[in-house]
């Protein structure tokens, strides 16, 4: 139950604005806001939905493009040279200075395959992280200043594969949000800068 001067309920249920669209046309939020919820008045599909998370460091939400939803492939993905890399061995990657010590790492299909948005297959060498047991998953041990060389906590043997780096806002897996029919009455939550539904009506709610 909300108490005192909490704005949580007001912000969550559209007091900052909303719009009804039923013509298959694009919705863009007011300056400084995002579309934070979409309610489906009838069963409907979305032609285009663009996550606010194209901005570095923000959480990611479902998106109609694979490039826009980094939850598909972490916050950084890099093909690596085939070979056996013992724990602590240097691995050369595509540069990314956002990588930090402790970031979880997955070994999966090469970057080109990941970008298709058809889902990922995680190599058993890098099992899904168990965040309750810090040492039970593969993670970054060190990263050079240029963000081009990492060492990992466990041995990996990539073979035409990529390393996916995860953080507090970016996981991995899933597909581009196209071709999905959402049932009548469903509400999905996130932060989007653009939504284009099919002809059936939806309500888009705005928030900060």
For residue range 188-205, list pLDDT tens digits in order: 998 899 999 988 899 999
Judge whether 2 lies within some domain: no
Q: How many domains does the chain have?
A: 2
pLDDT in tens, 41-94: 999 999 999 888 655 556 678 888 755 555 667 888 899 999 999 999 999 999
pTM here?
0.74
Does residue 58 share a domain with residue 140?
A: no
C-alpha span between 82 and 84 (Å, rounded): 7
3-class secondary structure for 89-136?
A: CCEECCCCCCCCCCCEEEEEECHHHHCCCECCCCCCCCCCCCCCCHHH
Judge whether 3 lies within some domain: no
Spacing of C-alpha 152 from chain mean position: 23
Q: 172 near 108, Cβ under 8 Å?
A: yes
- Mean pLDDT, residues 9-14: 52
Q: How confident is the model at residue 114 (pLDDT cuts 50, 70, 90)?
A: low
C-alpha span between 208 and 205 (Å, rounded): 11
> 76: which 2 tokens?
């950084």
Residue-range definition of the domain harbouring residue 32? 8-68+179-207
Q: 202 near 21, Cβ under 8 Å?
A: yes
Residue 62: per-residue pLDDT:
83
According to the per-residue pLDDT averaged within each range, which of 60-69, 97-106, 117-126 is highest? 97-106
Q: Identify which of 167, 208, 189 has the alpha carbon closest to the alpha carbon of residue 49.
A: 189
Judge whether 184 lies within some domain: yes
Judge whether 122 lies within some domain: yes
Name every residue whose Cβ is closer than 8 Å to that of residue 32 and which is 6 or more positions away in sequence: 208
């Amino acid at each position: 139950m909300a108490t005192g001067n909490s704005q949580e309920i007001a912000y969550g249920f559209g007091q900052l604005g909303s719009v009804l669209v039923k013509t298959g046309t694009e919705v863009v939020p007011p300056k400084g806001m995002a579309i934070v919820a979409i309610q489906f008045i009838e069963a409907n599909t979305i032609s285009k939905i663009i996550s606010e998370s194209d901005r570095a460091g923000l959480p990611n939400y479902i998106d109609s493009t694979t490039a826009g939803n980094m939850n598909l492939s972490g916050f950084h993905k890099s093909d690596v040279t085939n070979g056996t890399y013992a724990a602590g061995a240097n691995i050369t990657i595509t540069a990314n200075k956002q990588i930090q010590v402790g970031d979880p790492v997955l070994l999966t299909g090469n970057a080109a395959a990941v970008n298709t948005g058809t889902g990922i297959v995680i190599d058993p060498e890098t099992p899904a992280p168990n965040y309750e047991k810090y040492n039970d998953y593969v993670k970054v041990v060190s990263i050079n200043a240029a963000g081009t060389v990492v060492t990992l906590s466990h041995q990996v043997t990539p073979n035409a594969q990529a390393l996916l780096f995860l953080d507090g806002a970016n996981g991995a897996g899933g597909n581009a949000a196209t071709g999905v029919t959402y049932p009548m009455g469903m509400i999905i939550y996130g932060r989007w800068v653009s939504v284009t539904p099919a002809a059936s009506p939806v309500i888009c709610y705005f928030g900060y």
